[in-house]
Chains A and B, each alone.
Chain A
Amino acid sequence: MNPESFAEHFHILAEAPNGIKKLREMILQLAVQGKLVPQNPQEEPASVLLKKIGAEKEKLFKEGKISKQKPLSPLNPDEVPYELPKGWEWVRLSEIFFSISPGQKKVKTKDVNKTGKYPVVDQGQSYIAGYVDDSEKLIQIPGPVVVFGDHTRAFKLVDFDFVVGADGTKILRPVLLNEEYFYWSLRSYTLEDRGYGRHYKILKGQLFPLPPLAEQKPIVAKVEQLMALCDELEIRQQKRTQKRIILNISCLNALTSADEDSVQNAWQSISDNFDLLYDYPENVCTLRETILQLSVQGKLVRQNPNDEPASMLLKKIKVEKEKLINEGKIRKQNPLPPFDPSKVPCDLPDGWEWTTLAMIGEINPRNDVPDDFEVAFTPMPLISDKYGVYPTFESRHWQEVKKGFTHFAEGDVVLAKITPCFQNGKSGVIRGIPNEIGAGTTELHVFRPIAGMTVPQFVWIYFKSPQFLQEGEVLMTGTAGQKRVPKSYFSGHPFPFPPLAEQKRIVTRVDNLMSLCDELEAKLEYSLSTAKTLISAVVNELIAA
């Protein structure tokens, strides 16, 4: 990729999930390759500086300030990773600094306070770990130093006297170098993570690109300027992402809480910003939940006045149910509490009725089949928390699973009742099982529609709707980790019941929308991961060039 193309597509690169990180890497690499600032042939070359460093170290040794250094093996030409500009020199890192040992002056983490006289620097993430008051522990530094975390691989440039915290804090004092250049070029190393292993030894073995002294300061100035721009861009990106998430949530909330008249307005604001909102996979997730909520509110498809109203359907179900009880085909239920019309959550579209699952079906029915029947067995992991992904099963004999498990049959709708499966909305419609009979985890509630007068998938949508899940979560009982949603919530919570024909239309529409969401989400994720590879490839190429 040439620089023009890089410039043209810079926005794509910077927007990649790892974009800024890669740009920073690139800046540091270019800096230590001498590509950030032009060279001046008049400057005193680095070889002279190197000799001065050697002399200075010899002097420090004679003064007893540093210990004798082991002789270093001479540089082999094929060790050198890349060619340096004229006037620069490759040197071994340990040639150009000495380390300051804290000796007994280290403090333990438990002795570090939030406030105090002297700052403590350790290898942790935060620049200053805390403060202590004990002046005996203070280390007087001869000039700015770099603190290196032996375990964490952190680099910190420190230009004040400080107290060393905890083990593994290495203090490096560069000799005659521009300390800031020393710091930034150390940051350009990629040290492989060895977990809690030590990294200092690896660091010491690195090669160091030494520029002429006069060139070091301009490089630092350039690096700091570019890094500041990266910081700014990064912060703005984060703010934008947050805003985008909040905007999406508030737009969608407006849609679900809108009434007949305001729904158009609410939709308009989403529609206008659709490309902006749905450029991120997270927002598509929220959209999915909203679609489920809208569908149980009757806002997703048109009502048809010619549909047989739900009230008629309820009457038919009641008759059918009594018939089945009399025939002994289903168990007689305890009389249901009378439905309290004042407790309904909101108004429903024409033709819809409030009811409960207990009224329109069987709750947790039992199966009765011969022992040697081949049946389905569904433990919790086989139930998905995604709408549209049907539960799968293993094959068993009825005898093995009839005791100690929850029974279900083809066409039943199941809902996980235990935490955290309930909150995640693990649920599904049982489909395609052998002999139409099965059993599964005990942590299920089962709903069996009566005589095909409820579309099971519509009940599934209801289980997945955010409002149902949120209200259920509040009612969960039991000790932490064992909380369950009560059966009464499952069977007795007001259920919005649309006409049969409309239930079918809703399910078709939701399925359609969900698959479009899936498609979009997959493409967005793919595009993010491609952007990630792209920036890595570009940076890699530009550094190598």
Chain B
Amino acid sequence: MSISTTIKSIQDIMRKDAGVDGDAQRIAQMGWMLFLKIFDDREQEYELMEENYSSPMLEKLRWRTWAADPEGITGEELLDFVNNDLFRTLKNLSFAPGANPRGFVVRDAFEEAYNYMKSGTLMRQVINKLNEINFNSSKDRHLFNDIYEKILKDLQSAGNAGEFYTPRAVTQFMVDMTDPGLDETVLDPACGTGGFLTGTIEHIRNKFVKTAEDEHTLQQCIHGVEKKALPHLLCTTNMLLHGIEVPSLIRHDNTLSRPLRDYSPRDRVDVVLTNPPFGGMEEDGIETNFPATYRTRETADLFLVLIMHILKPGGRCGMVLPDGTLFGEGVKTRIKEKLLEECDLHTIVRLPKGVFNPYTSIKTNLLFFTKGTPTKEIWYFEHLYPEGYKSYGKTKPILIQEFDLEKQWWENRKENAYAWRVSADDIKATGYNLDIKNPNADKVSYGDPDQLLAEYLEIQQDVVGSRDRLKEELMESLRSRKK
């Protein structure tokens, strides 16, 4: 059976359970179960690779012990075990410093997990369905990434604090253009379910990783922070699936809750890739972590300030921002002033509406900048819909191929119908309004009216011809009735 049908039937089973209420809970439930299962599958691989591998989990809590056997414990017994044994122990795992770091991953994962299911029998059915998938088979794993993203999408449509699933084409394009290298630390301060991070891992692995040592370096470079528990768990699982052995660098925290001045040079990173939540409002007190000039409650703006601060000199950033930040005034003006003074904002790719459908239809921009030198000029690139599209949607998502135009232009920049540049002085003169429309797009030529008129009259004649033929043919059909 294909994996998508497996996932669907799992959801159907969960619908029968009295304890699971709504999409969010169903996904949360599936979240920790998948985590345990995938963790166990990964451990099987570690055991083959490392001779003295010892699991951070007690033997009786491991998936293989209590879940893998389809005829294993079920009903009340299973429910009792999960609620009173598994959860209680995993939530309270304690480790000596320097213990197996994988243990931290497990504890973090279970910190805010909860067992919603109230029927042990149904839980057994779900477990057995999950066991049909083998995450060590590379084919299944590959397929599962897609399914996984689909689950994530379902989850995110329930989000209401401005968090949106970033389409794969967008993350991939941004990773390609920022081009993180092997020795560079990469951070997504609002990583969600890890779209940018997995993109980065694949990018580095394809391009740079040659030896086992390289792979080891890569493992230490990927950092992420996520505020919400469920996306964090899913992100950790996603990292495991992408071969990050100890995803302990994915922290469950709010990046903004740490005062800006507390970030020491040691905390600085080479590359930031992120799609911060827009339009979200932070809780009271968060803004006091920021210098008074840049205080605001708008999450996306705070992230921009934070990123400027935590990049190393020469560090690079690719981030998604809404149009509102580009033309906004007040605090936004001061933030943009700082951005242009401290960083080289070299490129803004303007995306059309609907890239984030169905979560939001607002227009967004991809900003690319490098810290250290002030901006001299900004290149803009207007990303247009592919021919025949009116907007993006569920069945017509944005595709990575669409970015080929940008990629060709990137290294060899010329002004053309989609690309234009604006000097930093001009931007300053308009009060740091970055919302600059494509000056080359407006040259719509209406054509010569007299010529158009002649064409129109010709078409009219054509129409008459076609219509007469149709009429003739119909006449033939109907006239023939009378013999």
Residue from B449, B462, B464, B470 whose CB has the most chain A CB atoms within 10 Å: B449
Q: Is A246 an interface residue (CB 8 A)?
A: no
**Contact for A381 among B395, B475, B480, CB less than 8 A:** B395
Q: With a CB–CB cut-off of 8 A, which chain A residues contact B471? A: 271, 274
Q: Is the CB of A275 within 8 A of B481?
A: no
- The chain A residue with its CB closest to the CB of B466 is A520
CB-CB contacts of B48-90 with A at 8 A, as 1s and 0s? 0000000000000000000000000000000000000000000
Q: Is the CB of A260 within 8 A of B481?
A: yes
Q: Is the CB of A263 within 8 A of B459?
A: no
Q: Is the CB of A302 within 8 A of B483?
A: yes
Q: With a CB–CB cut-off of 8 A, which chain B residues contact A526? A: 459
Q: Is A227 an interface residue (CB 8 A)?
A: no
Q: With a CB–CB cut-off of 8 A, which chain A residues contact B460? A: 527
Q: Is B411 an interface residue (CB 8 A)?
A: no
Q: With a CB–CB cut-off of 8 A, which chain B residues contact A524? A: 463
Pick from A321-329, A417-425, A531-539 the stretch touching chain B. Answer: A531-539
Q: How far is the CA of A271 from the CA of B467 in the complex (A)?
A: 11
Q: Is the CB of A531 within 8 A of B470?
A: no
Residue from B462, B473, B474 whose CB has the most chain A CB atoms within 10 Å: B474
Q: Is A343 an interface residue (CB 8 A)?
A: no
Q: With a CB–CB cut-off of 8 A, which chain A residues contact B362? A: 195
Q: How far is the CA of A386 from the CA of B470 in the complex (A)?
A: 19
Residue from B446, B469, B477, B482 whose CB has the most chain A CB atoms within 10 Å: B477
Q: Is A509 an interface residue (CB 8 A)?
A: yes
Q: Is the CB of B481 within 8 A of A264?
A: yes
Q: Is the CB of A537 within 8 A of B447?
A: yes
Q: How far is the CA of A517 from the CA of B2 in the complex (A)?
A: 43
Q: Is A390 an interface residue (CB 8 A)?
A: no
Q: Is A368 an interface residue (CB 8 A)?
A: no
Q: Is the CB of B1 within 8 A of A404?
A: yes
Q: With a CB–CB cut-off of 8 A, which chain A residues contact B464? A: 275
Q: How far is the CA of A79 from the CA of B74 in the complex (A)?
A: 80
Q: Is B323 an interface residue (CB 8 A)?
A: yes
Q: Is A354 an interface residue (CB 8 A)?
A: no
Q: Is A278 an interface residue (CB 8 A)?
A: yes
Known interface pairs A195-B362, A299-B481, A404-B2; A275-B467 also in contact (CB < 8 Å): yes
**Contact for B452 among A279, A291, A509, A533, CB less than 8 A:** A533
Q: How far is the CA of A294 from the CA of B477 in the complex (A)?
A: 10
Known interface pairs A197-B324, A534-B452, A538-B449; A527-B463 also in contact (CB < 8 Å): yes
Q: With a CB–CB cut-off of 8 A, which chain B residues contact A260? A: 481
Chain B residues 14-47 with CB under 8 Å of chain A are: none
CB-CB contacts of A269-291 with B at 8 A, as 1s and 0s? 01100110011000000000001
Chain A residues 164-222 with CB under 8 Å of chain B are: 192, 194-195, 197
A517 to chain B, nearest CB (A): 7
Q: Is B283 an interface residue (CB 8 A)?
A: no
**Contact for B448 among A12, A255, A530, A537, CB less than 8 A:** A537
Residue from B324, B452, B459, B481 whose CB has the most chain A CB atoms within 10 Å: B481
**Contact for B478 among A263, A274, A404, A537, CB less than 8 A:** A263
Q: With a CB–CB cut-off of 8 A, which chain A residues contact B395? A: 381
Q: Is the CB of A274 within 8 A of B450?
A: no
Q: How far is the CA of A5 from the CA of B456 in the complex (A)?
A: 14
Q: How far is the CA of A299 from the CA of B479 in the complex (A)?
A: 10
B129 to chain A, nearest CB (A): 15
Q: How far is the CA of A94 from the CA of B437 in the complex (A)?
A: 24
Q: Is A127 an interface residue (CB 8 A)?
A: no
B452 to chain A, nearest CB (A): 4
A228 to chain B, nearest CB (A): 27
- The chain B residue with its CB closest to the CB of A516 is B470
Chain A residues 505-545 with CB under 8 Å of chain B are: 509, 512-513, 516-517, 519-520, 523-524, 526-527, 530-531, 533-534, 536-538, 540-541
- The chain A residue with its CB closest to the CB of B452 is A534
Q: Is B363 an interface residue (CB 8 A)?
A: yes
Chain A residues 250-275 with CB under 8 Å of chain B are: 255, 260, 263-264, 267, 270-271, 274-275
Q: Is A1 an interface residue (CB 8 A)?
A: yes
Chain B interface extent, by class:
35 or more
**Contact for B477 among A264, A509, A527, A536, CB less than 8 A:** A509
Q: Is B453 an interface residue (CB 8 A)?
A: yes
Q: With a CB–CB cut-off of 8 A, which chain A residues contact B467? A: 274-275, 278, 520
Instruction: Say what secondary structure dominates the interface of chain A.
Output: helix
Q: How far is the CA of A271 from the CA of B475 in the complex (A)?
A: 8
- The chain B residue with its CB closest to the CB of A509 is B477
Q: Is B327 an interface residue (CB 8 A)?
A: yes
Q: How far is the CA of A326 from the CA of B331 in the complex (A)?
A: 84
Q: How far is the CA of A468 from the CA of B430 in the complex (A)?
A: 64
Known interface pairs A520-B467, A531-B456; A536-B446 also in contact (CB < 8 Å): yes
Q: Is the CB of A523 within 8 A of B469?
A: no
Q: Is the CB of B363 within 8 A of A267?
A: no
Q: Is the CB of B450 within 8 A of A5?
A: yes
Q: Is A403 an interface residue (CB 8 A)?
A: yes
Q: With a CB–CB cut-off of 8 A, which chain B residues contact A194? A: 323, 327
Known interface pairs A271-B471, A299-B478; A9-B453 also in contact (CB < 8 Å): yes
Q: With a CB–CB cut-off of 8 A, which chain B residues contact A538? A: 449
B73 to chain A, nearest CB (A): 31
Q: Is A49 an interface residue (CB 8 A)?
A: no
A219 to chain B, nearest CB (A): 26
Q: Is B138 an interface residue (CB 8 A)?
A: no
Q: With a CB–CB cut-off of 8 A, which chain A residues contact B448? A: 537
Chain B residues 417-474 with CB under 8 Å of chain A are: 437, 446-450, 452-453, 455-456, 459-460, 462-464, 466-467, 469-471, 473-474
Q: Is A300 an interface residue (CB 8 A)?
A: yes
Q: Is the CB of A519 within 8 A of B1?
A: no
- The chain B residue with its CB closest to the CB of A527 is B459
Q: Is the CB of A540 within 8 A of B446?
A: yes
Q: How far is the CA of A270 from the CA of B467 in the complex (A)?
A: 13
CB-CB contacts of A384-403 with B at 8 A, as 1s and 0s? 00000000000000000001
Q: How far is the CA of A470 from the CA of B469 in the complex (A)?
A: 30
Known interface pairs A1-B450, A537-B449; A512-B324 also in contact (CB < 8 Å): no
Q: Is the CB of B463 within 8 A of A534?
A: no
A387 to chain B, nearest CB (A): 16
Q: Is A301 an interface residue (CB 8 A)?
A: yes
Q: How far is the CA of A191 from the CA of B473 in the complex (A)?
A: 50
Q: Is the CB of B477 within 8 A of A300?
A: yes
B461 to chain A, nearest CB (A): 10
Q: With a CB–CB cut-off of 8 A, which chain A residues contact B1? A: 403-404
Q: How far is the CA of A446 from the CA of B89 in the complex (A)?
A: 55
Q: How far is the CA of A541 from the CA of B453 in the complex (A)?
A: 13
Residue from B456, B459, B471 whose CB has the most chain A CB atoms within 10 Å: B456
Q: With a CB–CB cut-off of 8 A, which chain B residues contact A294? A: 477
B60 to chain A, nearest CB (A): 37
Interface CB pairs A-B, < 8 A, 13:
A5-B453, A12-B453, A194-B327, A197-B327, A275-B464, A299-B477, A381-B395, A516-B473, A519-B470, A520-B467, A534-B452, A536-B446, A541-B449
What 10 A-B pairs come out closest when comparing CB atoms?
A537-B446, A1-B449, A302-B480, A516-B470, A520-B466, A527-B459, A534-B452, A537-B449, A267-B478, A538-B449
Q: Which residues of B contact A (CB under 8 A)?
A: 1-2, 5, 323-324, 327, 362-363, 395, 437, 446-450, 452-453, 455-456, 459-460, 462-464, 466-467, 469-471, 473-475, 477-483
New A-B pairs, 4, CB < 8 Å, besides A192-B437, A533-B447: A274-B471, A516-B466, A520-B466, A526-B459
